[in-house]
Chains A and B, each alone.
Chain A
Amino acid sequence: AQTVTQSQPEMSVQEAETVTLSCTYDTSESDYYLFWYKQPPSRQMILVIRQEAYKQQNATENRFSVNFQKAAKSFSLKISDSQLGDAAMYFCAYKGRTSGTYKYIFGTGTRLKVLA
C-alpha cells in the first residue's frame, strides 16, 4: 500500500529566510502525481504545487519549489523569502492508481511558523 510520511510535525523559519519541508512516500507505481497543500488558520485547503512523476524537472511556483527525487521517493517543499502569510499547516499528498482507481493519500502535515 502507498504511504506518505511527513516526519516534521512542526517547523519554524525567520521571515525572509528559506525553509524546506520534508516528505517521503512509498509506492510501487511508476506513474503518479505529488502535491503540496497549504491549510492556513481559515481551514481552507489550497493547492501550492504539483509534480508529475514522469517529469524530471522540479516544479516551481513563485517562491515555492520542490526537490523531487524519484529514486529516493522524496518530495520536499522549499519556501524562499518566507512571509508571515506562509504560516500554515502543509500537507504532502500522493495520487496514484490502485486497482485501476486513482487514490489520494495525505501525510499527517507539518505546521510552519514564521517568526517576525
Chain B
Amino acid sequence: NAGVTQTPKFQVLKTGQSMTLQCAQDMNHEYMSWYRQDPGMGLRLIHYSVGAGITDQGEVPNGYNVSRSTTEDFPLRLLSAAPSQTSVYFCASSYLGVGYTFGSGTRLTVV
C-alpha cells in the first residue's frame, strides 16, 4: 500500500541513549517532515526536507538530526535522549499543493 511507513510505533529510552526513528514513503514525494506532538501544543516542526540531499531546521530542531540520502527515506536521530523529548512523533510527506500524508506516529517515552 502506498503511504508513509514509520517505525517503531512505541519506544522507551533511558536518558542519554540514542536512537533513530525510521520513515519511508513510496509516493515519490519531494517534501518530507518530522513533527512532534505534545498536549495543547499541536504539531511542531522539527526538521524538513525538500528533496534528497537537502534538509533544514524547523521550529524545534535541538537534540535531533536528520539526513535525506534518498527520496524515499527520512530518518530522525535522537542524539542523547532527554525526558523533554517524550512525545509523539510524526513523519509526513507531500507533493506541492497536495496535503500531507502522515505516518502512524511513534510514541516515545524517555525515562
Using a CB–CB cutoff of 8 Å, the interface residues on chain A facing chain B are 9, 33, 35, 37, 43-45, 47, 50, 52, 91, 93, 95, 101-109
Contacts and interface: CB of A to CB of B under 8 A. Distances in A.
Contacts of A95: 94, 97, 99
Nearest to A108: B42
Contacts of B50: 101-102
Interface of B: 31, 33, 35, 40-45, 48, 50, 56, 88, 90, 92, 94, 96-102, 104-105, 107
B107 to A, nearest CB: 8
Tell me whether chain A's interface is mostly helix, strand or loop, or mixed: strand
A104 B104 CA distance: 18
B99 A44 contact: no
Given A35-B99, A45-B92, A52-B97, A103 B105 contact: no
B40 A33 contact: no
A43 B105 contact: yes
Given A43-B105, A47-B100, A102 B31 contact: yes
10 contacts: A35-B99, A45-B90, A45-B102, A45-B105, A47-B99, A91-B43, A93-B99, A102-B96, A108-B41, A109-B42
